[in-house]
Structure formats: structure tokens, C-alpha cells
Structure 1
């Protein structure tokens, strides 16, 4: 069993008082948490499955990139299971950069959404409301950040955000 290496825990964010500020604040908090678990994880463990399902850190972040792009940008995904598999040539820095790019593009869309009850603006496809999209991304990112917490601790004992 690896030695436990504790990071300082970052408390939940203090946000503005509006619903949009709270939702965006918590989503950004979770986005940063999962990146922190992955960006300094050692090779090859960052891509090695630690559980029978095959889940690994790099695959989790790759999947979340696809979810961000699907929910906020309208990118179609035909096989969600494939989104969990990073290519052997995918460097950690590349996967993190693609995730940050998707988050940046999603945030650009969200910056122009003033009504949480309005659909996410994406041409040519039915879209959920901004409120639903934010809530779903908080749930999705939080669930996978929890997976990443456990996987990272199994790799090298690192805990905390």
C-alpha cells in the first residue's frame, strides 16, 4: 500500500449569491479538482486500470472532455464507452490541455447565457436548459472526481484536492 501523501484540501468555493454564480462556482471547483488529481500523476499508472472495469485517471479526464463538448457545445458522441479510453500516444499534458480547451469553450457559451431556464445555445440539435446542463455537469464531474480521488490514492497515496 502506498504511503499517504496529503494535499491541503481546498474548501468548497465562496460564490456570489445568484443561482448561476453558485452553479458555475461549484462546477469550476470540481473541474479544477479533477485536473489536480491527474496532471501530476505518474506514468504509466495514470493510464493503467486499477479496477476491473478498466477505469483509469487519463480515461476519466478524456471522458469528461467529451461530456463538456457534448452538453455545452453540442458535439455528438456515438460511443460513450470509447470516450473513457486514451490512446497510448496521448500524453497527460495533451489530455489536460484538451480538457481545459473544452472547459474554456463551454465557459464562453455560458458567459452569454443570462437565463438558466433557456436552452443551451447549440444550433441544429435539441438542447437542455442551461440550469439542467450545469447541474448535470456538476453531478458528472463530481462523480468522476470521486473516482479520481480513489484511483490516485491507489497509485501513490496522494489524497486531498
Structure 2
């Protein structure tokens, strides 16, 4: 059994609401990427529970969530985002997620007012506020990071963040 990894108990944040929100989001993003990174390839893409949920699918889904929320990309079939392509390996899925996070952070870096709408272009659809998007991503990423914790432990006993 793999020994538990050391955990940092709290996200590093600043004093403003934006710094606190982004600090927690970045902490959760790093946690779920680390949970998937290094997982044995075949097991990472295999269903860990009867619903079919798997590590690669969770991170693949969160890549779409990041891109939809912060970059304005349209997703027409959300259930399909929970399934990485059969040829996708752990490294590819993690790299795509990190790229989406980097692009999302570039957008967030230009958002000084949390109450303002996100500067994304999606014709005919109003943009949510930066605050709403950050809160939504904290909730979504946190929920799936918890799922990933359980799935990774079932795969190889790895625990911790």
C-alpha cells in the first residue's frame, strides 16, 4: 500500500475576496491534477464505480468546465465530457487540463471587478459575473476532487492531496 502524501491543510490566499477565491480554486485545481498524475494508465481510465466514473473522465470533464466558464466555449453534450478518448493517456489529459487552467487564469488576471461579467464571447448568452464563475468552479472542482480522492485510493491505495 502506498503511504499517504503530505497534505497542505489550507489553500494559500491573500486578503482580498479575489485572492481568497483564486487561491482556493488554484489549490483544488492542483489537488485534482496531482491525484490523476502518476495514476496507472489503464486503471485511470477504467470505471471505478458502477456509474462509470473514472479519474481521466473527471479531469477531462473539468477541462471542459474551465473552458466553458472562463473562455466561453460552448458545450452541447455535458455527459460526454466525462469520457476521455480511449487513446488518451494520463499525461495527455493532465496536460490539456493544465493548459485550460492557464488560459482561464489569463482571463481572470484581467478581471479586476468580481461583480463584472466575465469577458467571454458567447453570442446570445449573457456572461455570469466573475464572482459567480469562481464560486461555481470552486464547487465543481472540489466535488470532483473528492471523487478523485476515492477513485485513486481504490486504484492503488494513494491518499492525500
The alpha-carbon distance between structure 1 residues 14 and 43, as it changes in their structure 2 partners (threshold 3 A), is closer
Alignment of 1:1-161 (within 5 A): 3=1, 5-123=3-121, 124=123, 125-161=125-161
What TM-score comes out, normalization by structure 1 length? Answer: 0.96
Q: List structure 1 segments (4+ residues) > 4 angstroms apart after TM superposition.
A: none
**Unmatched 5+ stretches in structure 1:** none
> RMSD value over aligned CA atoms?
0.9
Q: CA deviation at 1:126?
A: 1.3
In 1, the alpha carbon distance for the partners of 2:102 and 2:12 equals 21
* DSSP-derived class of the 1:61 partner: helix
Residue 66 of structure 1, CA deviation? 0.1
C-alpha contact (below 8 Å) 2:5/2:160 kept by paired residues: yes
C-alpha deviation, 1:102, in angstroms? 0.5
Distance 1:10 1:88 in 2: 34
How big is each residue's C-alpha offset from its partner over 1:103-141, in whole Å with a ceiling of 9 and x where there is no partner? Answer: 001000000000000001012331100000000000000
TM-score by length of 2: 0.96
Q: Work out the CA distance in 2 between the residues paired with 1:15 and 1:34.
A: 18
Q: Secondary structure at the match of 2:58?
A: helix
What are structure 2's unaligned runs of at least 5 residues? none
Q: How many residues align?
A: 159
Residue 4 of structure 1 contacts residue 153 of structure 1 at CA under 8 Å; is this kept in 2? no
Once the two structures are superposed, what CA deviation does each residue of 1:17-45 show, in whole Å capped at 9, x if it has no partner?
A: 00000000000000000001001000210
